[in-house]
Structure 1
């Protein structure tokens, strides 16, 4: 471990992600054309939206619960403050205006309320996020997680098939309805990926995006683990997310501890032992998580492979 720490200190600069060539929605010809200033739900005037409360705040914007006055319909409205950070460039509006999946949060329209801002009107998920449910109710059961995993994988499968990598899968970015429908949200750091190839030159700007605690080993230390497939990182993040929901805390550290700095996180995630399972964990669940948290990205299961895993098949049957 001392040798590893010394080598890490020689590479304190964050290793970058593979460069992702950003394209327009036209790279996915089956998508509808982006919407501009109007919505399929008839919310044509931004001023008709009444802010009710704040649902969340981030580095680049805020999310509000809003009501459309004429229809009394409830939505979520994300205001993106662009230009506050020159290094930040979001393709969220392009991605959300292109995608259509029951496992991804639906975009009803995009507005420009004032110069330098964009507002995304989205469906409102009335149960919050998986993170808020975990904090309110405690750890999830294996049965409920199988159903959750099936839905998230279906959403990731849709995104990956359409050349989109999410890059920030975590409990707070997974929205939930009261009937336990789960949808992927927050595409602030997501990217379009051109063509079949998923390995390319490096880009420091891309590495700074996303949540480091949920990043895969190849994103945290590409010197040791290689660049890998850009899609494999979403699978790792899913594995960390589900294991966290099962044990009730970030799984690579004890319940009362969080990583104090980037080096400690890298040492534990990349070079530490595999997180332990509670004794009651089934073999199917253990197998599924190990397939997600394979440190070698070339051996890590893909989303399409995971959809056929016995544990996920249980979740698919529960959702029918």
Structure 2
């Protein structure tokens, strides 16, 4: 066990924010309930101006639609979160995502155009529409990614993460389903519902949130790492698994076709052999994966 833990210590060569880059916490006021026009709390777009075209994603907390803005015939994605005052977790995650989206503006982070609260209590988050969906969908539709395509994806995601880290934002849920992509292979980091804004360098970042399959070893075994972990390094681990999955065509910690469960994943991440690439890949790719994992 000790050897495994020593082997899993991360040795990253990626620049991390300095303490002087610490920004104050953002503050997002509660959105006022609007009239029947459902006017946005900021911006000129209203819910009545949006025509729903199709459902892009659906969960217990809400639905994501492809919508048309009638005034300009521009296509957007609308994340409509159902009101649920009895679910504090959903509310907390929603306002955290709103907080981040309203204060970020970068080419490799999904852009939020407006946020509004409907009279029903539902909250709409209008973001840019990426016509190829998510990396997970693209993998299923087009098959595995070549090394040049992976390098293109990795470069953009790393630039997006560097921007977030400069603003003291840890994503905590990097995976193929949370990276949007368009037909020009432009990618953008999305879904900040479990992200964390570090107000001080001493802030802990050890909440057990996100998708366990993509969590780094120290998130399962906090005691070994002093009761805390680097959220920055955790995101890079998740990126490494994501890129390896895009190259191999299946989740790299388990055999193809095996359905993961929590216990299997925990054992594979904490005690199993590090995921390895097949023969024939470049030394650059192999070295990069070694840095990530």
Give me the TM-score of the superposition, normalised by structure 1: 0.76
Residue 87 of structure 1 and its aligned partner are, at CA, apart by: 3.1
State the partner residue of 1:231: 232
Find the aligned partners of 1:128 and 1:180 in 2 and give their Cα distance: 11
Unaligned segments of structure 2, at least 5 residues: 5-22, 29-39
Q: 1:153-204: per-residue Cα shift (whole Å, max 9, x none)?
A: 000000011011111111011001111100001111112111223547x6xx
Aligned to 1:313: none
Counterpart position of 2:72: 71
Q: Distance in 2 between matches of 1:231 and 1:197?
A: 14
1:183, 1:132 → 2: CA distance?
Answer: 15
> Structure 1 residues 197, 121: CA separation in 2 closer, same or farther (over 3 Å shift)?
same
SS at match of 1:175: strand
1:167 and 1:189 in contact (8 A); partners too: yes
Structure 1 runs not aligned, ≥5 long: 5-21, 28-35, 294-320
Name the counterpart of 1:221: 221
Q: Once superposed, what is the RMSD of the aligned Cα atoms?
A: 2.2
Show the 5 A alignment for 1:87-126. 87-88=89-90, 89-90=92-93, 91-126=96-131
Q: State the Cα distance separating 1:46 from its structure 2 match.
A: 1.4
Aligned to 1:150: 155
- How many residues of Structure 1 are paired with residues of Structure 2 in the alignment? 258
Q: In structure 1, what is the Cα distance between the partners aligned to 2:26 and 2:88? A: 23
**What SS does the aligned partner of 2:200 have?**
coil
Q: Is the 8 A contact 1:198 1:229 kept in 2?
A: no
Report how far residue 85 of structure 1 moved. 2.5
Check 1:59–1:270 CA distance in 2 against 1; reply closer, same or farther (3 A cut): farther
Provide the residue aligned with 2:264 in structure 1.
264
Residue aligning to 2:139 = 134
- Whether the aligned pair in 1 keeps the contact of 2:134 and 2:181 (CA below 8 Å) is yes
Contact 1:250 1:258 in 2 (8 A): no
* Alignment partners' CA distance in 2, 1:289 and 1:269: 15
Change in CA separation of 1:114 and 1:221 when aligned onto 2, cut-off 3 Å: farther
TM-aligned CA distance change 1:75 to 1:147, over 3 Å: same
Partner of 2:287: 287
Whether 2:50 is the aligned partner of 1:49: answer: yes
Q: Which whole-Å CA distance do the structure 2 matches of 1:279 and 1:37 have between them?
A: 54
The answer to whether residue 194 in structure 2 is matched with residue 189 in structure 1 is yes
Q: What is aligned with 1:8?
A: none
After superposition, the C-alpha distances for 1:115-171 in whole angstroms (9 at most, x for unaligned) are: 542110000001111100000111100110001000000000000110111111110
TM-score, normalised to structure 2, is 0.82
Which residue matches 2:85? 83
Matches within 5 A, 1:243-262: 243-260=244-261, 262=262
Q: CA deviation at 1:80?
A: 1.7
Structure 1 stretches of 4+ moved >3 Å? none
Q: Distance in 1 between matches of 2:289 and 2:120?
A: 45
Task: Supply the distance in 1 between the matched residues of 2:165 and 2:210 (Cα, whole angstroms).
Answer: 17
Report how far residue 224 of structure 1 moved. Answer: 3.0
